[in-house]
Amino acid sequence: MQPRKLRADAQRNVDALLEAAKTVFATSGVDAPAKEITDLAGVGVGTLYRHFPQRADLVVAVLHRGIDVCAAAGPALGAEHEPDAALAEWLRRYTEFVGTKRGLASALHSGDPAFDGLPGYFMERLEPVLGALLDAAVATGGIRADVSAKDLMHAIALLCQPVRGEDVEYNQRMVGVLTDGLRRT
């Protein structure tokens, strides 16, 4: 059975809530007050809880949307850029996505069953996209062939761990060092 399509105004509210939650989670973490999210979205707290009854529902929806956006960027970048440049740009976007999820790791390891499917969804959607970009870059001879998409995803996730006093630009710089190490010289 297909989920019921939302009215246009309800869909706008959901979109506004997801964008606001994404912004608030990046600055205040996933445990930020609901009021902070609803104020930014321009909706009431009741609207938040109507669409996302539990905090975990909102976190999962924000992550699904971010994963989907990141996955969709791969083919578009591959069509617009040379393989090495497409790979580098996608890795930058992936780093931004992973690096701005403050409090996500603790939420995912909280034992809440709402998060059980996220790691699988994450890998299912993103690993093939990165794999295709990586394969294309390797085929040009500019990137080493001994690193897998899974290796890169895990390495970047580790490089995006919060560092006291640093922000996502620091993570980007560290991933840049990693990316430079992929190049054949």
The enclosing domain of 31 has a CATH number of: 1.10.10.60
Contact 115, 108 (CB under 8 A): yes
pLDDT value for 97: 84
Check whether residue 78 and residue 144 sit in a common domain: yes
Average pLDDT value for residue range 156-161: 84
CB-facing half-sphere around the CA of 154: CA atoms within 13 A = 5
- Answer yes or no: is pLDDT of 2 > 60: no
Check whether residue 70 and residue 160 sit in a common domain: yes
The two three-digit tokens of residue 41, written as one number: 């979205």
CA-to-CA separations, 61 to 88, 132, 148, 176, 179, in angstroms, rounded: 27, 26, 28, 29, 30
Check whether residue 105 and residue 151 sit in a common domain: yes
Boundary residue ending a domain (53, 75, 97): 53
**Residue 35, domain extent:** 1-53
Q: What is the pLDDT of residues 39-82, one digit of tens each?
A: 999 999 999 999 999 988 999 999 899 999 999 999 999 999 99
Check whether residue 17 and residue 60 sit in a common domain: no
Task: Report the chain's terminal Cα–Cα distance, integer Å.
Answer: 54
pTM value is 0.83
